């Protein structure tokens, strides 16, 4: 048991370390320019030397992602509940939702920048737009997937629609909501970076662009890695929230 846990942590680490070693050997052996492809050691050095800048620029990206994701949860779940429970709203809203989803967010970003400016709001809106869809779709699917046996049980007790929703439908949909949230939170980071690329004053995306334009590839790569870490941290936060909210999902295993 302990042995297996230990292995699940060790093997991926060995894999990552192996790739880093190969990468470093390749860069040194073939004398690849640092501008074209910096080695892992260059990137590590750039990370350590610029840790204050990286940390400072992570904060706006973090805030944009989290707020955009939060807004997607707060608006997306009620929308999904309405869509799933009302045939009229489903017919009215669902095609619009699908249509907006098929619009490339990168293409909309410049317009949103015109509307909301270079600051936080525009990034928040773009992060929200990309995170919104998976939450709505998964939550709506969860609302419709309530086991019929549970609905019959509630009906046999003459439960009110509100009781059915709060005590049966919603808890039954939680696994779906979290599945959507895990996808949405990583998309929110991407949305924030898209916003920063199109026009921004700060953030990791902004730093990455700046470093790239100055041919400071190690710093650009360092910013990229910090971005990935940010995404992983936010994903892990959702997983932890899932375990806290749904302790029973662990119970069967």
Partner 1 sequence: MNKDPLVAIEDISFDLKRGDLVSLLGPSGCGKTTFLKIVAGLIPATSGTVQIGGRDVSQPHPDFGVVFQQANLMPWRTVINNVLFPMEILRRRDADAVARATELLGLVGLSGFEQSYPAQLSGGMQQRVALCRALIHRPTLLLMDEPFGALDELTRMEMQDLLLDIRAKTGATVMFVTHSISEAVYISDIVVVFSKRPAVIADYIEVGLPYPRSAELRYSAAFTQLEHRAGRALGITR
Site string for partner 1, 92-131 (x = CB under 8 A): ----------------------------------------
Q: Give the residue with the Cβ less far from partner 1, 8 or 148.
A: 148
Please select the residue that binds partner 1; options are 70, 119, 171, 199, rule is CB under 8 A.
171
User: 71: Cβ–Cβ under 8 A, 6 or more apart, which residues?
Assistant: 124, 128, 131
Would you count residue 1 as binding partner 1 (CB under 8 A)?
Answer: no
Across 110-128, b (16+ Cβ under 10 Å) vs e yields: eebbeebebebbbbbbbbb
Would you count residue 162 as binding partner 1 (CB under 8 A)?
Answer: no
CA–CA distances in Å: residue 26 to residues 62, 151, 199: 34, 61, 36
Question: What is the distance in angstroms between the CA of the first residue and the CA of the last residue of the chain?
Answer: 13
Please select the residue that binds partner 1; options are 2, 29, 96, 251, rule is CB under 8 A.
251
Would you count residue 154 as binding partner 1 (CB under 8 A)?
Answer: yes
Please select the residue that binds partner 1; options are 34, 56, 167, 182, rule is CB under 8 A.
167
For the CB of residue 149, give the shortest distance to partner 1 in the complex, in Å: 4
Please select the residue that binds partner 1; options are 59, 147, 161, 232, rule is CB under 8 A.
147
Please select the residue that binds partner 1; options are 37, 82, 89, 172, rule is CB under 8 A.
172
For the CB of residue 248, give the shortest distance to partner 1 in the complex, in Å: 4
Please select the residue that binds partner 1; options are 55, 74, 153, 233, rule is CB under 8 A.
153
- Kindly state the DSSP code that residue 202 receives in the 8-state scheme: S
Please select the residue that binds partner 1; options are 152, 201, 240, 241, rule is CB under 8 A.
152
Q: Give the residue with the Cβ less far from partner 1, 175 or 199.
A: 175
Question: CA 189, CA 67: separation in Å to the nearest integer?
Answer: 10
Restricted to residues 174-193, the positions that interact with partner 1 (CB under 8 A) are 174
Please select the residue that binds partner 1; options are 8, 52, 102, 156, rule is CB under 8 A.
156
For the CB of residue 146, give the shortest distance to partner 1 in the complex, in Å: 10
Where helices occur in the chain by DSSP H, the ranges are 2-29, 40-49, 51-85, 87-102, 105-116, 120-144, 148-156, 161-164, 170-198, 204-213, 217-245, 248-251
Question: CA 233, CA 245: separation in Å to the nearest integer?
Answer: 18
Question: CA 97, CA 114: separation in Å to the nearest integer?
Answer: 23
Q: Retrieve residue 220's tokens.
A: 């650009």
Please select the residue that binds partner 1; options are 86, 163, 214, 228, rule is CB under 8 A.
163
Alpha-carbon dihedral sign for residues 148, 96, 185, 79: negative
Q: How many residues bind partner 1 (CB under 8 A)?
A: 23
Site residues (CB under 8 A) for partner 1?
Answer: 147, 149-150, 152-159, 163, 167-168, 171-172, 174, 246-249, 251-252
């Amino acid at each position: 048991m302990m042995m297996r846990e230990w292995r699940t942590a060790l093997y991926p680490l060995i894999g990552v370390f192996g790739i880093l070693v190969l990468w470093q050997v390749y860069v040194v052996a073939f004398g690849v320019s640092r501008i074209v492809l910096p080695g892992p050691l260059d990137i590590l050095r750039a990370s350590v030397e610029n840790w204050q800048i990286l940390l400072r620029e992570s904060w706006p990206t973090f805030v944009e992602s989290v707020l955009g994701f939060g807004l997607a949860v707060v608006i997306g779940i009620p929308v999904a509940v309405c869509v799933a429970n009302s045939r009229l709203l489903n017919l009215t809203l669902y095609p619009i939702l699908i249509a907006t989803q098929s619009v490339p967010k990168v293409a909309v970003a410049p317009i949103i920048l015109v509307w909301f400016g270079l600051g936080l709001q525009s990034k928040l809106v773009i992060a929200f737009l990309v995170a919104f869809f998976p939450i709505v779709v998964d939550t709506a699917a969860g609302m419709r997937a309530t086991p019929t046996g549970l609905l019959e049980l509630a009906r046999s007790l003459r439960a009110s629609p509100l009781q059915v929703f709060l005590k049966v439908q919603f808890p039954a949909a939680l696994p779906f909501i979290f599945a959507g949230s895990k996808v949405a939170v990583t998309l929110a980071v991407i949305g924030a970076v898209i916003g920063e690329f199109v026009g921004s004053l700060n953030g990791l995306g902004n730093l990455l662009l700046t470093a790239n334009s100055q041919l400071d590839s190690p710093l650009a790569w360092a910013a990229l890695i910090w971005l990935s870490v940010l995404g992983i941290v936010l994903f892990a936060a959702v997983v932890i929230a899932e375990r806290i909210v749904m302790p029973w999902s662990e119970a069967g295993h």
